[in-house]
Amino acid sequence: MSTYSEEHKNYLKKLKKEKIIIFIFRLFIIVAFLIGWELLSKYHMINTFLSSSPSHVLKTASKLFYDGSLIKHIGITMYEVLLSFIIATVIGLVSATILWSNKTISRIIDPYLTILNSLPKVALGPLIIIWVGASVNSIVFMALLINTFITIINIYNGFISTDKNYITLLKSFQASKKQIFTKVVLPSNYINIINALKINISMSLIGVIMGELLVSKSGLGYLIMYGSQVFNIDLVITSVVILGIISYLMYFIIDKCEQKFRK
């Protein structure tokens, strides 16, 4: 026998219906875009040499898959993205914790975080190559320059925005800073941290592609650069589409983690 009331059942049905509608509209948008793109290219309303087409993208992806290079390039890019994502997440959490626990340090460091976050990282590309060499290290370093500071800022802002009433209550019971952090600040910011990770993963992907455009001889960024150099627009668009799919999959995984924490 069900323990749910009729009102609750109706509410759950409404939520399920909304999810289905959202999914259908999302699917409709992408399908309509692909069909429109293919029709425009088929009837020569757009120049396929400059804009490619879904069928050309599919053929290019199939060719890359069968010669074994597609998995190789995706694997290299994913390794660099995950490595930079993990490092930036650890640095972000540790740094935000230190800044929250020491107000003096946070007042000293805060303006520098803003300055470092606003620096044009692409302009530092040649210096990065000189500092760490033209290798995977420079690609990961470029990604860290892009994603680390914004991760620190987002997590730290969440920490300092924790409800002061909870903190005051624990202080009245003589709770230590460690207890306040582990019992109130951190649990209150699970969702905020996951939102910061969403931004972090996208910034990691951007940073890795920028790094690969500068120094890499493999990876999706390399395919984009190589395709543009030889005027192979199909290769460029195919790489961009694959990047979009990878970005969505990573976002989907983190979004599922967020839903789990919300429950």
Which range of residues forms the domain containing residue 109?
Answer: 53-262
Mean pLDDT (the chain) is 86
Highest mean pLDDT among 1-10, 88-97, 206-215: 88-97
Q: What is the pLDDT of residue 167?
A: 84
The band of 230, judged by pLDDT with boundaries at 50, 70 and 90, is confident
> Do residue 68 and residue 39 come from a single domain?
no
Distance between CA 240 and CA 233 in Å, rounded?
Answer: 10
> Do residue 229 and residue 250 come from a single domain?
yes
The band of 1, judged by pLDDT with boundaries at 50, 70 and 90, is very low
Contacts for 251 with CB less than 8 Å, ≥ 6 apart? 198, 201, 202
> Do residue 103 and residue 34 come from a single domain?
no
Residue 93 has pLDDT above 90, yes or no: yes
> Do residue 1 and residue 125 come from a single domain?
no
Q: What is the pLDDT of residue 238?
A: 92
What share of the chain has pLDDT > 90, as a percent?
25
> Do residue 134 and residue 156 come from a single domain?
yes
Q: What is the pLDDT of residue 3?
A: 61
- Region 127-154: mean pLDDT is 87
> Do residue 25 and residue 136 come from a single domain?
no
- Region 52-72: mean pLDDT is 89
Q: What is the pLDDT of residue 187?
A: 87
Lowest mean pLDDT among 49-53, 66-70, 99-103: 49-53
Angle at 124 between CA 118 and CA 125, to 5 degrees: 130
- Domain total for the chain? 2
Residues 155-193 pLDDT 10s: 999 998 888 888 888 888 888 888 888 888 888 888 888
Contacts for 49 with CB less than 8 Å, ≥ 6 apart? 233
Lowest mean pLDDT among 100-104, 119-123, 186-190: 119-123
Distance between CA 6 and CA 77 in Å, rounded?
Answer: 50
Q: Which residue has the tokens 């929250």?
A: 100
Q: What is the pLDDT of residue 98?
A: 93
The band of 10, judged by pLDDT with boundaries at 50, 70 and 90, is confident
> Do residue 127 and residue 190 come from a single domain?
yes
> Do residue 58 and residue 41 come from a single domain?
no
Q: What is the pLDDT of residue 263?
A: 65
pTM of the predicted structure, to 2 decimals? 0.83
CA 87 vs CA 79, 92, 144: distances in Å: 12, 8, 8
150 within 8 A of 186, measured Cβ to Cβ: no
CATH number of the domain that residue 161 is part of: 1.10.3720.10
Q: What is the pLDDT of residue 137?
A: 87
